[in-house]
Each structure stands twice: as C-alpha cells, then as structure tokens.
Amino acid sequence: GAVVSQHPSWVICKSGTSVKIECRSLDFQATTMFWYRQFPKQSLMLMATSNEGSKATYEQGVEKDKFLINHASLTLSTLTVTSAHPEDSSFYICSASAGGPGNEQFFGPGTRLTVL
C-alpha cells in the first residue's frame, strides 16, 4: 500500500515553455501533498505544501507565480513550472500523507526536468 506515482518521470523542454508534473496517490486518499526539489547530491528542499481544495503554502524563496500547484482532489496534485529556464532544471519529487497515526509522507519516484 501507500503508493505514489508521478508523471512524467522525465521531461525535456525549451526555455520559456511551461511544464506540468502530476502526482497521484494510487491506493489512499492524500489529505496533504508536498512538493520538493532536489539538486544532485543534495537533500530534498520543500517547495510547498498543499491541502485538497485549498491554496498551497509556499516556502520562503519559492515563487508561487512560477511554480503553480493545484490539489484538485484527494488523489491528485499538479505542479506547473511556468516559463521554465535552465536554472529550473532539477529533480522534482512529490509526497503524500493520508493523515494516519504517524502521518508518514510517502514519496513518488520523482520527475527529472531538463530545461534547454
């Protein structure tokens, strides 16, 4: 149980275009979803937290107009990187929490974004 999927697993796009990444909880309802980015050999940095039906809460330094997050249902959250630039190239990982006894976060497999 507790499977989280992401789509696509990798994407290459041109500078200036927008890219949408989907995060789905496959076998549980996720009350909260988190979006992280990870640079090579570095840790995960939280970008934003989203609750179903509410606006996302962004971490300090993360541009909410650039990284649009939508949590439309209890099983789906999307991250759209708008007007992507090469510095946005990174590994984006989502996680989902069902709010169970430990409120553990279960992570998706990640999406590797390369902006040319």
Partner 1 sequence: QKEVEQDPGPLSVPEGAIVSLNCTYSNSAFQYFMWYRQYSRKGPELLMYTYSSGNKEDGRFTAQVDKSSKYISLFIRDSQPSDSATYLCAMSATQGGKLIFGQGTELSVKP
| Residue 88 backbone dihedrals phi, psi, to 5 degrees | -85, -10
Distances (CA, A) of 94 to 15, 63, 68, 110: 23, 17, 14, 7
Please identify, using beta-carbon distances, which residue of 82 and 105 lies nearer to partner 1: 105
Q: Which is nearer to partner 1, 17 or 57 (CB)?
A: 57
Per-residue binding string, partner 1, 51-90, x by CB under 8 A, is ----------------------------------------
**Residue-wise over 33-70: b if at least 16 C-beta within 10 A, else e?**
bbbbbeeeeeeeeebbbbbbeeebebeeebeeeebbbe
CB 6 within 8 A of CB 23: yes
Does 34 bind partner 1 (CB under 8 A)? Our answer is yes
For residue 114, CA distances in Å to 14, 74, 85, 90 come to 9, 29, 9, 7
Nearest residue (CB) to partner 1, 16 versus 99: 99
Nearer to partner 1, 58 or 115 (CB): 58
- Residues in contact with partner 1, counted by CB under 8 A, come to a total of 26
Positions in 85-104 near partner 1 (CB under 8 A): 91, 93, 95, 97, 99, 102-104
Q: Could you list the residues that contact partner 1 (CB under 8 A)? A: 4, 6, 32, 34, 41-46, 49, 91, 93, 95, 97, 99, 102-110, 112
